[in-house]
Structure 1
Amino acid sequence: MKKYLVCSLLMIFNICFGAIASAQSIDEQLLNKKQQSIIMISAFTAQGDLENLKVALNKGLDSGLTINQIKEVLVQMYAYAGFPRSLNGLNTFMEVLQERKEQGIKDVEGAQASPVNPDRDRLAIGTSNQTQLVGSKVTGKVYEFAPIIDTFLKEHLFGDIFERDILTYQERELATVAALAGIGNVNNQLKSHMKVSMNNEVTAKQLQALVDILHDNVGTKIGENAQMVLNQVLAK
C-alpha cells in the first residue's frame, strides 16, 4: 500500500513538474527573457515601484540586456509616465550598477544609438515613423484642437525617440504597453498601443503572455484591466 502511494505521488509530482516546465518553455517561446525583463522594467518604472524595479533591473541585466538597452527603456518611459518616474528609474539603475560592480559583476555596456543629422526634418521623420508603426496616417479631433501636441508627438516621440536604433519597434511597443497598463486609467491609449504592437510583429499570444506577466508580477487589478482591454482588441 505504501509503495503504491509513493508511486502515485511520484507520478503526480512528475506530471505537475512536467506541466510547469512545459508552461515555462511556452512562455519563453512567446516572450524571451529579455522581452519579459523589458515588460517588468517598464511597468515598475511607470508605477514608481522602485523596490520591485531594482529586482527587475537585476534580472534584465542577467537576461542579457545591455546597460544601454535598459537606459533606453527608462528614457522612453518619460514620454508615457513623465520625467519624475523616468529619472527615478535611471537613479535606481545607477544604484543597481554600482552594487553589481562592487560584487565583481561586469555588465555589458552595449552599442550606442547611431548618430543622426541635427539638421534633419524631424517632423517628416516622426510622421513617417508614426505612420509605419500605426499602419496608417494618424488624425483626430484632439490634434485639431491642440495642433502643437501633434507636432510634439511626431517630432519628439516618434521622431527623436523612436528614431533611435538601440531598441526595435517591437521592443519599444512591449515597453509602452507595459507602462500604460502599469499607469492605469489610460485604457484608450493602452488599446491603441496593443493594436500598434500587433502591427509590429507582436502576436496576440505574446500580448496575452505580457498580460499574464503583469497579472502575476505587477498586480492583479493591473492584469485584470489589461486582460479586459486585450479582449476588446482581439474581439475586433
Structure 2
Amino acid sequence: MNTLKDSGREHVGRFPQKFADLTDQTLFGDMWKRTQLTPRERSLVTVAALVALYRLEQLPFHLSRALDNGLSDDELEEVMTHLAFYSGWPTAASGLKQLSDVQASRAPSQG
C-alpha cells in the first residue's frame, strides 16, 4: 500500500497503489484537465456534489482547492445557501461549518 501524495491528497490515508494511480492519473489528471469546464467550474460542481451527498470528509480539501481555483468566500457561501433548498438544511449547515474551518485555516496568522 502507498499513501496518496500528489495534488494534496495525503490527508485521505493509505490506499492500494492502483487506487492511488487511478486517483492521480485519471481523476486529478485526466478529468480535472479536460477543457469543457474550467478548474473553477469543476470545483463548483465538486463542492456542490460533496455537500449534497454529505461527503464531509473530502470537503475541506475541495473547498480549499475551490478557493485556489478562483471561487470567492462569498460565492461558496452562496452555494451552501442555494444547496440548503435542494439538498437540505443540515447538509448546507455542515458545508458552511466546513467552509468556516477552511477559511480560518487559510487566514493570515495574527502575531
The TM-score normalised by the length of structure 1 is 0.39
Alignment size in residue pairs = 101
Structure richer in helix, relative to its length? 1
Equivalent residue of 1:178, what SS? Answer: helix
Structure 1 residues 138 and 217, CA, compared in 2 at 3 Å: closer, same or farther? closer
Q: Does 1:142 align with 2:13?
A: yes
User: In the alignment, which of 74, 85, 89 is matched to residue 216 of structure 1?
Assistant: 85
Cα distance in structure 2, aligned partners of 1:217 and 1:211: 10
Within-5 A mapping of 1:65-76: none
Q: Deviations over 1:119-147 (max 9, x none)?
A: xxxxxxxx9xx64xxxxx5435724x422
Q: Which residues of structure 2 form unaligned runs of 5+?
A: 106-111
User: In the alignment, which of 57, 66, 71 is matched to residue 197 of structure 1?
Assistant: 66
Cα distance in structure 1, aligned partners of 2:75 and 2:31: 24
Which gives a bigger RCO, structure 1 or 2 (Cα 8 Å, sep 6+)? 1
Structure 2 letter corresponding to 1:207: L
Which portions of structure 1, spanning 4 or more consecutive aligned residues, are displaced by more than 3 angstroms?
A: 137-141
Deviation at 1:192, TM superposition (A): 1.0
The TM-score normalised by the length of structure 2 is 0.79
Q: CA RMSD in A?
A: 2.1
Within-5 A mapping of 1:24-39: none
Structure 2 letter corresponding to 1:226: G
Cα distance in structure 2, aligned partners of 1:199 and 1:190: 14
User: In the alignment, which of 25, 37, 46 is matched to residue 155 of structure 1?
Assistant: 25
Residue 177 of structure 1 corresponds to: 47
Q: Which residues of structure 1 form unaligned runs of 5+?
A: 1-126, 132-136
Cα distance in structure 2, aligned partners of 1:204 and 1:179: 18
